[in-house]
Amino acid sequence: MSEDHHHHDHDSHGELSFDEKMAKLLDHWIKHNQDHALNYRNWAEKAKANGKDDAGVLLGEAADMSLAINDLFKKALAELDDN
């Protein structure tokens, strides 16, 4: 079984302003959640194809939640631009 390793060195942005750093983090989190949501959806379909309908539905809901979190991250990113 392969493990999903993530490198989360979020404090390595050195000389960036707070807003620049926050924007980079938000962009990273949005991409990261999109990747996870896609993976969850793929496994939801695999679960359903293997007779695990309830697990598939739950994984689909997890994908939806990840994308809902992205909506909040996008709003936070827009707030940075507005200030």
- Whether 74 is covered by a domain: the verdict is yes
Below-70 pLDDT ranges, the chain: 1-14
- Whether 66 is covered by a domain: the verdict is yes
- Whether 10 is covered by a domain: the verdict is no
Q: What is the pLDDT of residue 78?
A: 95
Tell me the whole-structure pTM to 2 decimals. Answer: 0.76
Q: What is the pLDDT of residue 82?
A: 81
Q: What is the pLDDT of residue 5?
A: 54
How many domains are there within the chain? 1
- Whether 24 is covered by a domain: the verdict is yes
Q: What is the pLDDT of residue 2?
A: 46
- Whether 2 is covered by a domain: the verdict is no
Q: How far apart are CA 67 and CA 29, in angstroms?
A: 11
- Whether 78 is covered by a domain: the verdict is yes
**Owning domain of residue 75:** 18-82
